[in-house]
Structure 1
Amino acid sequence: MQWKTLGATPFLPPLYWRAALKRKITGSTLPEQGLRCRVSIDPKQVAAYRKVCGFTDSPILPGTYPHILAFGVQMQLLTDSNFPFPLLGLIHLNNRIRIHRPLGGVSELSISVHTQNLKPHPKGATFDLVTSVEDSLGLLWEAESRMLCRGVKLEGDAEDHAQPSPTQVNELTRWKAPADIGRRYARVSGDYNPIHLSALTAKLFGFPQAIAHGLWNKARTLAALSEHLPAANIEIDVEFKKPVRLPGEVTLLASAAGSSGELWLKGAGDIEHIVGKWRPIA
């Protein structure tokens, strides 16, 4: 892997244009280059994120917040001319984060982003978008987002690893996903994908109404589970099933508090939105 270090956090508007203009698959191999960047944490932005995602005030950053810090770097990587797949068609299938140490007392972090693990899938091909966050002591947090690009033809057997539905869970809480949550989350995350913003823009991409961001669903779930979960040495792995249509209401089921457990986010008529589990980092 070759690494390119950025002098500043990428400016998003030109990257949106790049994403909007690229609609074709231009290759079937992932680039061998990753991006690195130093980022500063703005307490006002963290506070706005907490409010949108339901996290209470704390000296420790929300476990999903490094995704927000890394978003511009991820966008730059995925809209680069040597990246073979159009960003707007990608579907987020899985997300796993590992919190190695408590995310407290940090003001500046180093972020690295690369892609790996391109594999055939029944609907196209999947790859992992890998993000690592370091502070002055070393590795602090890492994430893998498994992305699907439809229509890619690769040699080999297609596999699709679905997580089984949890068994030992009870209802913990429920919440509403309001009609404007896609726009509110876009303002704190920078992710203005049209499928999340309004019914009108979602219809352009084949959705009958706007859908909630997958990472908002995950963040809102972790906010509801915050009393349940250890602050560090934890891996939280979720699979995104059916999208949450806006406006909507969801129910969170989870195991009893502990170092490992399962979670299940369901909607009306028992529709599965998220299946997940947490456990100590192996």
Structure 2
Amino acid sequence: MMCILTMIILTILAFFIGLIVFVICGKETDVYDSISKLAWYKLIIKLVYKLVKCRKQGNLYLDKSLVYIADTNTNFTLALSVRNHKVTVNGLRIDKDHLAKYKALCRYNPNDGEVPLCYAETLFMKPLIALITSSKFALSPIGLIHIRQNIKQWIPLQEYMKAKFTLELSVKQYRQNERGIEVDINLRTMVGSTCVWEGTMTLLSRAKQGKSRGRPERRNHDKEIIYRFDDDFEVPASCGVDYAKLTGDWNPHHLYRWSAWLLGYQKPIAHGMWTLSRAIAKLQERFEITLDGRYEVSCAFKRPLFMPGSAVMKFDDGSMISEYSDCNVLVEEKGTSIPHLTATIKSL
């Protein structure tokens, strides 16, 4: 009996070891015929392998066989542009149930017929993991922090509810400064040869000598902006898990108190893109406006927004958004004026 049990255990171990070797040593793919080709078990195995292989934050792990172009940007000690790191996923459609759940979580009007400005980014999580776990990606996945986001909606996605999309991700540039290494990742949602939605995600791999997560001073960078309106909004404790279920962003610091504590946070923190989308939803609700044209959103993520919690949103007159007039948005901690994010929205 013990012999049979031992054989079963050894067979199972051999299967999993073989699977891991197959995934790690298999040929990397840059183009996927469908999102289903990006299997979670493969992405997780590659993620764990990359975490072990590239253990240090704030370091560039450059493959000499890849082509990089040195940049002369004087604001950084080193800037490298990338030519050949891209992931493409074909044949994706918008799921109406998924969209409805997203709008409910971020509190959009469920009957307005719109696809929110930030929604398209929820489609990119699997391809993004494939991008950062590939051998071409020059940073460790450990501790990557989402610090900035730019979104350009060229054509409203609701016009293509029955169309098949192609998702394109590409690494644009690595930049080194006193905080560590920044990387820009371009996201594009295509219908045929037409780009309908575009985003640039900036991530930071913090160096050891970078600035700490100590308690920040009161903000002073917004003194020139006079916000005419303000509103409160609550952040429920379940927000992180609910958003993770929708997007696939299961970073532990967004989930539970114990998982956030393991990463140095007292409580779990809300996803930055949820906070931005929730703020836009409140803006649209306050002024009863639609954002179904060509718009650009530029956002900087500042400090964590803890869950459960509450925040204050301050903003300009949203009904005045135009090509010549930005709407400024600030989300800050209630009672302390510590900013969670700042953003501008304008028509293109």
- So what's the TM-score if we normalise by structure 1? 0.88
SS in 2 for 1:215: helix
Structure 1 residue 14: deviation in Å?
3.1
- Please list the CA deviations of residues 133-166 of structure 1 after superposition, one character each: whole Å capped at 9, or x if unmatched: 112471111001111012299xxxxxxxx99426
Structure 1 residue 167: deviation in Å?
1.1
Tell me, in whole angstroms, the C-alpha distance in 1 between the residues paired with 2:220 and 2:194.
Answer: 31
Q: Partner of 1:16 in structure 2? A: 44
Q: Partner of 1:90 in structure 2? A: 144
- Percent identity reads 22
SS in 2 for 1:266: strand
Alignment of 1:54 with 2:107, yes or no, is: yes
Counterpart code for 1:34: K
Kept in 1, the 8 Å contact 2:229–2:317? The answer is no
Alignment of 1:276 with 2:302, yes or no, is: no
Tell me, in whole angstroms, the C-alpha distance in 2 between the residues paired with 1:146 and 1:46.
Answer: 25
Gaps in structure 1 of 5+ consecutive residues: 154-161
* Structure number having the greater strand percentage: 1
Change (3 A) 1:19 1:139: same
Question: Does 76-85 or 111-120 show the bigger shift?
Answer: 76-85
Q: Partner of 1:34 in structure 2? A: 86
Kept in 1, the 8 Å contact 2:316–2:329? The answer is yes
Q: Partner of 1:190 in structure 2? A: 248
Counterpart mapping for 1:204-219 below 5 A: 204-219=262-277
How many residues were matched structurally?
271
Of 132, 152, 159, the match for 2:188: 132
Counterpart code for 1:113: L
Counterpart code for 2:109: T
Counterpart code for 1:263: V
Alignment of 1:225 with 2:271, yes or no, is: no
Tell me, in whole angstroms, the C-alpha distance in 1 between the residues paired with 2:142 and 2:105.
Answer: 24
Question: Does 12-21 or 33-42 show the bigger shift?
Answer: 12-21
Change (3 A) 1:180 1:125: same
Change (3 A) 1:163 1:18: farther
- Please list the CA deviations of residues 120-145 of structure 1 after superposition, one character each: whole Å capped at 9, or x if unmatched: 12211101111011124711110011
Of 177, 194, 199, the match for 1:143: 199
Kept in 1, the 8 Å contact 2:85–2:137? The answer is no
Q: Partner of 2:32 in structure 1? A: 6
- Please list the CA deviations of residues 52-97 of structure 1 after superposition, one character each: whole Å capped at 9, or x if unmatched: 1111123221111110112111111111133222224100100110
- Please list the CA deviations of residues 173-202 of structure 1 after superposition, one character each: whole Å capped at 9, or x if unmatched: 211111111001101111110000011001
Q: Partner of 2:121 in structure 1? A: 67
Gaps in structure 2 of 5+ consecutive residues: 1-28, 63-67, 69-81, 210-218
Structure 1 residue 241: deviation in Å?
0.4
Counterpart code for 1:95: Q
Counterpart code for 1:209: K
Question: Does 169-178 or 234-243 show the bigger shift?
Answer: 169-178
Counterpart code for 1:204: L
Tell me, in whole angstroms, the C-alpha distance in 1 between the residues paired with 2:232 and 2:290.
Answer: 18
Change (3 A) 1:77 1:163: farther
Kept in 2, the 8 Å contact 1:228–1:256? The answer is no
Tell me, in whole angstroms, the C-alpha distance in 2 between the residues paired with 1:67 and 1:142.
Answer: 9
Question: Does 270-279 or 143-152 show the bigger shift?
Answer: 143-152
Structure 1 residue 12: deviation in Å?
2.7
Counterpart code for 1:142: E
* Structure number having the greater helix percentage: 2
Structure 1 residue 228: deviation in Å?
4.8
Question: Does 202-211 or 27-36 show the bigger shift?
Answer: 27-36
RMSD over aligned Cα atoms? 2.3
Alignment of 1:266 with 2:332, yes or no, is: yes
